[in-house]
Structure 1
Amino acid sequence: MPNITKQKNAASKLIEFNMVRHIAEDATRLGHSDYDDNQPLFKGQGKILLALSQEDGLSQKELADRLNLTAQSTAEFVGKLVKKGFVTKEKSQQDKRVVIIKITDSGRENAQTATAEIPDYIKSLTDEELDQLSALFTKINANLYEQIKATNPTWFSKFHKTVTDTVRDWFL
């Protein structure tokens, strides 16, 4: 049985890492002239680009369902992506009430560039440390997937496929 003190220490380091990582990302973005447009890929607009990179031509409702976003958030994010030229909106040929979202070449390039970037804090690790970190995250992620699956199997199926396809396509 693992030592509870060591578990607490590891948990505190993970919390610290998440906080410091967010602060570092914010500080980096603040220095850019396009601060409002330079948001992390796995938040909001980035989730939509990732989903469309894997399966283009989805309706706003399908995007919202797949990404567990509200209809309002999805519409807002899509609107911003249209303004940036990363996606287009068009009426469905089958049902004119449905809006189909398609990723542009620029949007696909943006998604691929952002997800293929290796953070500097990862580059500072040795090969042995990278192997250890990968093994630990594999175990942690497997446990988290099981928790999600037990709580909401439908959401797990959508979420798991999106994440694993992204990692496979862009990092391996």
Structure 2
Amino acid sequence: MNSNLHEWSIGFIIGQTYRKMLNVLTSRLKEHDMTPEQFSVLCRLHESDGISQKEIADRTVKDQPTTARILDCLIRKELVRKQTSATDRRSFLVYLTEQGRHKLQVLMPIERQTIEDIFSWMSESELEAFRQTHLRLIAHLDTLLKP
């Protein structure tokens, strides 16, 4: 057995896989002045436009300060806008702009192709088993995180 125990750690392997996948997507989004984190926020808004910063943070699994920084960047790029909530004047709702919708139309095929390229070596059944295993792992980890 190899003396580098971290090479055999499932946590290390998952982390390394995530970082490498993220690097591939990052390199492909870079020419469009977009990060995967920013793209993720745009996607969540595409699913549910007009949601709060807290909801965006929950849906992207980011903390609120990180989400605020991402939103500030997207506002500067004129891809999203904030509007005060009609029901809670202390809260802002976030919306895609037309420019943001257009950017998503350009980026979504790039993300789809990236995922296809990453998993092209797997059969459909292997990919589905991989997906289901990871979903089960996520659900189990959620139970471990509950107080």
Task: Determine helix, strand or coil for the equivalent of 2:83.
Answer: strand
Structure 1 Cα separation of the partners of residues 86 and 27 of structure 2? 42
2:58 maps to 1:70: no
Given the superposition, is the C-alpha separation of residues 150 and 49 from structure 1 closer, same or farther in structure 2, using an over 3 Å criterion? same
Structure 2 Cα separation of the partners of residues 67 and 17 of structure 1? 15
Structure 2 Cα separation of the partners of residues 27 and 58 of structure 1? 28
Structure 1 Cα separation of the partners of residues 20 and 28 of structure 2? 12
Report 1:125-164 matches (<5 A): 132=123, 134-152=124-142
Given the superposition, is the C-alpha separation of residues 25 and 80 from structure 1 closer, same or farther in structure 2, using an over 3 Å criterion? closer
Structure 2 Cα separation of the partners of residues 101 and 28 of structure 1? 22
Task: Determine helix, strand or coil for the equivalent of 2:49.
Answer: coil
TM-score (norm 2): 0.70
Given the superposition, is the C-alpha separation of residues 28 and 102 from structure 1 closer, same or farther in structure 2, using an over 3 Å criterion? closer
- Cα displacement (A) at 1:20: 8.0
Structure 2 Cα separation of the partners of residues 95 and 65 of structure 1? 19
Given the superposition, is the C-alpha separation of residues 23 and 101 from structure 1 closer, same or farther in structure 2, using an over 3 Å criterion? closer
2:6 maps to 1:38: no
Give the RMSD, CA atoms, in angstroms.
3.4
Task: Determine helix, strand or coil for the equivalent of 1:152.
Answer: helix
Q: Give the AA of the match of 1:66.
A: R
- Cα displacement (A) at 1:108: 1.8
Encode CA deviations 1:104-144: one digit per residue, 9 max, x unaligned: 1221222232122324983xx6xxx67x2x33221101100
The corresponding residue for 2:108 is 115
The corresponding residue for 1:22 is 23
Task: Determine helix, strand or coil for the equivalent of 1:69.
Answer: coil
Task: Determine helix, strand or coil for the equivalent of 1:44.
Answer: helix
The corresponding residue for 1:5 is none
Structure 2 Cα separation of the partners of residues 69 and 120 of structure 1? 22
Structure 2 stretches lacking a partner, 5+ long: 1-7
TM-score (norm 1): 0.61
Tell me the number of residue pairs that the alignment of Structure 1 and Structure 2 aligns. Answer: 130
Structure 1 stretches lacking a partner, 5+ long: 1-7, 156-172
Given the superposition, is the C-alpha separation of residues 108 and 18 from structure 1 closer, same or farther in structure 2, using an over 3 Å criterion? same
Structure 1 Cα separation of the partners of residues 86 and 21 of structure 2? 47
Given the superposition, is the C-alpha separation of residues 107 and 93 from structure 1 closer, same or farther in structure 2, using an over 3 Å criterion? same
Moved over 6 A (4+): none
Aligned-residue identity in percent = 21
Given the superposition, is the C-alpha separation of residues 49 and 24 from structure 1 closer, same or farther in structure 2, using an over 3 Å criterion? closer
Q: Give the AA of the match of 1:137.
A: L
Q: Give the AA of the match of 2:45.
A: L
